Every structure is written in structure tokens, then in C-alpha cells.
Amino acid sequence: MATVELTKGNFEQVVTGNDMVIVDFWAAWCGPCKSFAPVFEAASGKHGGIVFGKVNADDEQELAATFNIRSIPYVMLFREKVVLFAQAGALPAEGLESVIRQARALDMEKVHKEIAGQEKAAGEVASRGCF
């Protein structure tokens, strides 16, 4: 599957409408971005069930700022709307494959329960005024 260009206008729809989305924040002037691009493209061809999206950080500065992107390339992996991986720097092919394997192996029901428990605990602390 070819990569999808992600913008402020379609980002949320793509992430919420697909089980797994891997995003590469990049820029045309960035050397490491250029060296990572073929690795990202090759992985997108091997994993048809995953959406691979690219965000041009120069053109989509507001979107990059939303995720506090300070260094590129920056790779994020969403599964069921949860960020499971986020890291600056160009990954080698095996590194990207490892991230994908680990994300696929996670029990997402357990992940969602853990998040719900953390949110509940944070809400209880906030309601007691413990900050």
C-alpha cells in the first residue's frame, strides 16, 4: 500500500478510522528524512493492513506542534487510537519491523483497560484537589 499524505484536515479521520496507523513527520530539506523515506515506503508495501501516513512538518506546522514535534524524522504508531510508539530519528528497517511486530502483539483490550484505570485515578486525584 502506498503512503497517505496526512494533513490537519484528514489526520483525525485516518487515525480514528483505521486499526493501525504509522506516521512519519518529515521535511524535504531533512537529510535523515530522505534516508528514512525508502525504509518507510518498503514497510508500507509489506504491511497492507496498516496505514502509513506522512506529514510534511513544514506544510503542516500546526499539526506537528499538536504533537510537540521538535525533531524530524519523527515516527508515531497509533493502534486503536492509542499512541503506542513515538520517537525522533530515522529507524533502520529492522527497527521499524520490530515496532510493528510489538504493536501487533499487544493485547489492546488490556491496554484500553489500563488507560481507563489511569484516567480514573487521575480524575480522583484532581477531584480531591491534591495538586
Query: Which residues carry out catalysis?
Result: 30, 33
Instruction: Please answer whether residues 73 and 27 qualify as being in contact, where contact means their C-beta atoms are separated by less than 8 angstroms.
Output: no
Beta strands in the chain, from DSSP E residues, in sequence order: 4-5, 20-26, 51-56, 74-79, 82-88
Residues forming beta bridges with residue 118, ordered by sequence position: none
Contacts of 81 (CB under 8 A, 6+ apart): 15, 16
